[in-house]
Structure 1
Amino acid sequence: MPNLLDLKADDFDYNPNNLLDTLIKQLNLKNDAALSRALEVAPPVISKIRHHHLPVGASLLIRMHEISDLSIKDLRALMGDRREKFRIGDQVIRVD
């Protein structure tokens, strides 16, 4: 597996499964149920993310960062998030 710090968003198509699978491997977890416990979310949340019925929200992304020590930028790259700007309310935030 390549060094996570060397990965760029261009290395992936949007796929939250890649993010979830990487977290499971990185944290030495057995399955999605164990990941949901580690993230302190209900198991259906992970299932909905896997099936593209629910996006990875900011609070979940922060929780992923807290338990994995991966940067938000690296987590976004793992799921192929290529956005350079985010809209939060009326503000536009540029990601460098």
Structure 2
Amino acid sequence: YHDPPSNQWFGFQAWSMERVAELYQQTGNAKAKTVLDKWVKWALSKTTFNPDGTYRIPSTLQWSGQPDTWNASSPGANSGLHVTVADYTNDVG
């Protein structure tokens, strides 16, 4: 995560969230579902599917702010951390 190009690539997000989805599928972990529900809603809101079959997905992300200090017993909402989509692509990987 300390390599800025990595955390700016949407594929890095999708790849990580696939692992969370696999955890949820295998275990039914409620915390994984909470994370998935929030991320999928956001990802779909940034994805466009056109009637002609073309589409666009996020490509480069821009982050601002800071995440909350980690506390395992009471994770924060990271309300000071924000992301915007800098550009889009139709390359799924």
TM-score (norm: length of structure 2) = 0.29
**If each structure's strand is expressed as a fraction of its own residues, which one has the higher value?**
2
**Relative CO higher for 1 or 2, CA cutoff 8 Å, sep ≥ 6?**
1
**If each structure's helix is expressed as a fraction of its own residues, which one has the higher value?**
1
TM-score (norm: length of structure 1) = 0.28
Q: Which has the larger radius of gyration?
A: 2
